[in-house]
């Protein structure tokens, strides 16, 4: 349990002293007693966690004290303990935004004790939440989420630095698996908005008819099944960041509504009339070429330019050179740690194999390849046999080698021979070549 500093402001010396002694029974409470509102105001530098205030103080009313303090400490909880029993006073006090209010009677002791314990729990949760937010921020430190020394990735770091210093909309493009959402999170958690929510939504994953209610929410009774008000993602992310992934999939009707929300910085829930101001930073991502979609008339020009903001293009892994090895070693360490095995090395042959592959699934694919390799390897080394690429990507792998036509021919024939259990006739038929060609290559040890 954490320590809680409590101010008891009570003009009745006897009653105040009793409350002080009672609350001090909990060794985690530090209680200060003041007899006037002025004394309370003069001691606010002690930074109390809660103030228990008598409604009728000699120099000013409890509410006046509270309103003065709230100007500087708006989140500080106040408990008003009052001898006033009339309903009008109770309503006035509750309307003023006090945490709790009770009349002095025989149950005051228990009510005050419970209210203070609730505040302690709330404060503990708040502290825990802030610590978790800090941890998340550290987790999303640039160097922790995007690993690499290649020029391509260094340029991305440079753009991300610019993005965190402003509120500009960021548009992230890149092939699947390049880490678009991670970059969006890193920008958010390194920006001044980091203590507010990061809300991610995949436009392609939500049916067109539902996207509006997801983004803008709805009022109770807006349509059949709307049994209660729902707050949309735009509102949830106010003060923070809304990440719209696969924005290129948004239909024309919704594009118009999104444009309005961005331009006006306000939204209306479905079925509602009220305009709700939002302060939401947008980060969008796509693996489509939006400029091409624009020319085909599939994406609104006005929205395109609104969303373009600061464009960040994530390079495919195959263009990041030695980052492949750097990432491979990082993933190896990570997976070995997760599986509680000593960190494995990667043989030179395995490294060569990794460097030659095209990675159509980019970093995500490399991560899976390494995870499998860690599992397959029984020793402290990962060798080339542990590196398995998806068969569907072999063709791209061939093309990346940039070799001679003759060499491509040899590789293709070898690949199909192995696939057909070394059946020369079947292979020759499938490839539309003479079986003598294959026999000659075998004889000359070309395959």
Residue ranges in contact with another protein by CB under 8 A: 11-15, 17-18, 21-22, 25, 56, 58, 83, 104-106, 109
Q: What is the smallest separation between the CB atom of 88 and another protein, expressed in angstroms? A: 13
Closer CB to another protein, residue 8 or residue 278?
A: 8
| Distance between CA atoms of residues 271 and 223, nearest Å | 8
Closer CB to another protein, residue 15 or residue 304?
A: 15
Q: What is the smallest separation between the CB atom of 12 and another protein, expressed in angstroms? A: 5
Closer CB to another protein, residue 18 or residue 396?
A: 18
Closer CB to another protein, residue 58 or residue 221?
A: 58
Query: Cβ atoms within 10 A of the Cβ of 161, count?
Result: 12
**Are the C-beta atoms of 309 and 169 separated by less than 8 Å?**
yes
With b meaning 16 or more CB within 10 Å and e meaning fewer, what string describes 323-360? Answer: bbebbbbbbbeebbeeeeeeebebbeebbebbeebbbb
Closer CB to another protein, residue 113 or residue 416?
A: 113
* DSSP letter string, 119-159: HHHHHHHHHHHHHHHHHHHHHT-HHHHS---SHHHHHHHHH
Q: What is the smallest separation between the CB atom of 13 and another protein, expressed in angstroms? A: 6
**Are the C-beta atoms of 20 and 6 separated by less than 8 Å?**
no
Query: Cβ atoms within 10 A of the Cβ of 92, count?
Result: 15
| Distance between CA atoms of residues 176 and 174, nearest Å | 7
Neighbouring-strand partners of residue 270: 218
Q: What is the smallest separation between the CB atom of 59 and another protein, expressed in angstroms? A: 12
The residues, ordered by sequence, that sit 6+ positions from 120 with a Cβ below 8 Å of its Cβ are 1, 2, 4, 28, 49
Q: Quote the DSSP letter at residue 225.
A: T
Q: What is the smallest separation between the CB atom of 4 and another protein, expressed in angstroms? A: 18
Closer CB to another protein, residue 31 or residue 186?
A: 31
Q: What is the smallest separation between the CB atom of 194 and another protein, expressed in angstroms? A: 45
Q: What is the smallest separation between the CB atom of 19 and another protein, expressed in angstroms? A: 8
Closer CB to another protein, residue 11 or residue 181?
A: 11
């Amino acid at each position: 349990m954490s320590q809680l500093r409590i101010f008891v402001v009570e003009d009745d010396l006897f009653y105040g002293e009793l409350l002080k002694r009672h609350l001090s029974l909990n060794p985690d409470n530090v209680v200060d007693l003041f007899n006037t509102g002025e004394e309370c105001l003069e001691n606010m530098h002690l930074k109390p966690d809660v103030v228990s205030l008598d409604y009728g103080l000699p120099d000013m009313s409890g509410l006046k004290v509270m309103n003065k303090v709230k100007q500087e400490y708006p989140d500080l909880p106040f408990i008003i303990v009052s001898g006033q029993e009339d309903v009008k006073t109770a309503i006035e006090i509750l309307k003023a935004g006090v945490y709790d209010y009770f009349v002095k009677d025989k149950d005051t002791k228990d009510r005050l004790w419970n209210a203070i314990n609730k505040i302690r729990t709330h404060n503990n949760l708040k502290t825990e939440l802030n610590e978790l937010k800090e941890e998340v921020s550290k987790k999303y430190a640039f160097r922790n989420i995007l690993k690499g020394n290649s020029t391509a990735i260094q340029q991305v770091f440079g753009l991300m630095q610019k993005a965190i210093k402003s509120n500009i909309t960021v548009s992230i493009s890149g092939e699947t698996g390049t880490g678009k959402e991670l970059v969006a999170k890193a920008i958010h958690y390194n920006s001044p908005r980091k203590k507010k929510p990061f809300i991610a939504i995949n436009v392609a994953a939500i049916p067109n008819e539902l996207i509006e209610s997801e983004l803008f929410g709805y009022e109770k009774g807006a349509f059949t099944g709307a049994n209660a008000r729902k707050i949309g993602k735009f509102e949830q992310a106010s003060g923070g960041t809304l990440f719209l992934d696969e924005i290129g999939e948004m239909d024309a009707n919704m594009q118009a509504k999104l444009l309005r929300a961005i331009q006006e910085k306000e939204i209306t829930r479905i079925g509602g009339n009220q305009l709700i101001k939002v302060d939401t930073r947008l980060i969008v991502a796509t693996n489509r070429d939006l400029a091409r979609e624009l020319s085909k008339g599939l994406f609104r020009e006005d929205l395109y330019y609104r969303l373009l903001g600061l464009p960040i293009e994530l390079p495919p892994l195959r263009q990041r050179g030695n980052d492949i090895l750097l990432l491979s070693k990082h993933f190896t360490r990570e997976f070995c740690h997760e599986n509680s095995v000593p960190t494995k090395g990667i043989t030179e042959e395995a490294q060569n194999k990794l460097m030659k592959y095209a990675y159509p699934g980019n970093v995500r694919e490399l991560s899976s390849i390494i995870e499998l390799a860690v599992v397959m390897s029984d020793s402290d080394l990962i060798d080339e046999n542990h590196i398995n690429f998806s068969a569907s990507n072999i063709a791209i792998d061939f093309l990346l080698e940039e070799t001679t036509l003759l060499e491509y021919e040899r590789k293709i024939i070898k690949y199909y021979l192995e696939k057909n259990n070394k059946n020369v006739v079947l292979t020759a038929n499938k490839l539309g070549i003479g079986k003598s060609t294959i026999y000659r290559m075998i004889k000359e040890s070309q395959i």
